[in-house]
Amino acid sequence: MIRLAGLVPMGKQKLNEIGDVPSKALAYIKPIYAAAAKKEGFKVTRIYESSGWPNAEIQVWQVTKQQHSGWVLGTCFTKAKASKLAKALKETLIDYHPFNDTVATTKISKDHYYLSPSEAAKLGGVKFDSKKLREFMTEGHISKHHPARAFDPIDEGPADDDMKEAEKLKKPLTNAIAGIGRSMDNINRMMSSFNAPGLKHAFIDAIKIGVKRQGKFDELAAYKRFKDYYDR
């Protein structure tokens, strides 16, 4: 369990370290995330390693408009900013006017967002050296090998094989992305401009919910969110 003092105005908060971030790398990036969190007011919920590089999950706030179906209108670092956005939308958009048969409502809810060290440095206005961090990451992992073999040449075979497989996957993955675009176009083409946004946002929300668990697509959660549109 990691503790960061002064990360946000609320004081200390606990961070769960997930993965295997070497101690020197962790010591280097913690102040970077702390600076960003202090400046923007968000909370860092965990720091972890993914694919050999550190990352952080932060708590953010979503503003969702509910009318016929719900969709996210904006994501903010703090609840106060989300409330300010929700108020501005209510005072501005026609959807909230009482002349509507179904007047829109607004929901503010917690969500999470993934932030890299370089992004955190930009937010916090501090320096970040990716080369130095990479050295800390490499050094930390080397130290866990057998001392007599710590500086043996690294076998790049698996990395080369992975790149070959990645090239094979490029076309089908590109087609999958294109398929999302075609689906959005079909909604626009087949539905009225009044009702198309609701289905589009339900479709996109389903995809977003499906990818919330890093490294895995939760099809069941995605299907459930998409089904909500038809069950309303």
- For residues 87-111, average pLDDT: 87
Question: In this predicted structure, which of 100-104, 151-155, 198-202 has the lowest mean pLDDT?
Answer: 151-155
Per-residue pLDDT at 9: 34
Which residues, 6 or more positions from 124, have their beta carbon under 8 angstroms from its beta carbon?
32, 33, 34, 35, 36, 37, 38, 39
CB 121 within 8 Å of CB 128: yes
CB 130 within 8 Å of CB 118: yes
Per-residue pLDDT at 129: 94
Judged against a pLDDT cut of 80, whether residue 51 lies above it is answered with no
Judged against a pLDDT cut of 70, whether residue 201 lies above it is answered with yes
User: Taking Cα atoms as reference points, which of 191, 180, 182 lies closest to residue 69?
Assistant: 191
Per-residue pLDDT at 50: 77
Segment holding 72, helix H or strand E: strand 69-76
> Residue 120, Cβ neighbours under 10 Å: how many?
25
- For residues 169-187, average pLDDT: 86
Higher pLDDT, 59 or 149: 59
Judged against a pLDDT cut of 80, whether residue 183 lies above it is answered with yes
Per-residue pLDDT at 26: 92
Per-residue pLDDT at 142: 56
What sign for the dihedral angle of Cα 111, 230, 217, 71? negative
Threshold 0.85, pTM exceeds: no
Per-residue pLDDT at 15: 46
Average confidence score pLDDT of the chain: 80
Per-residue pLDDT at 13: 41
Judged against a pLDDT cut of 60, whether residue 143 lies above it is answered with no
Question: In this predicted structure, which of 86-95, 108-117, 144-153, 220-229 has the lowest mean pLDDT?
Answer: 144-153
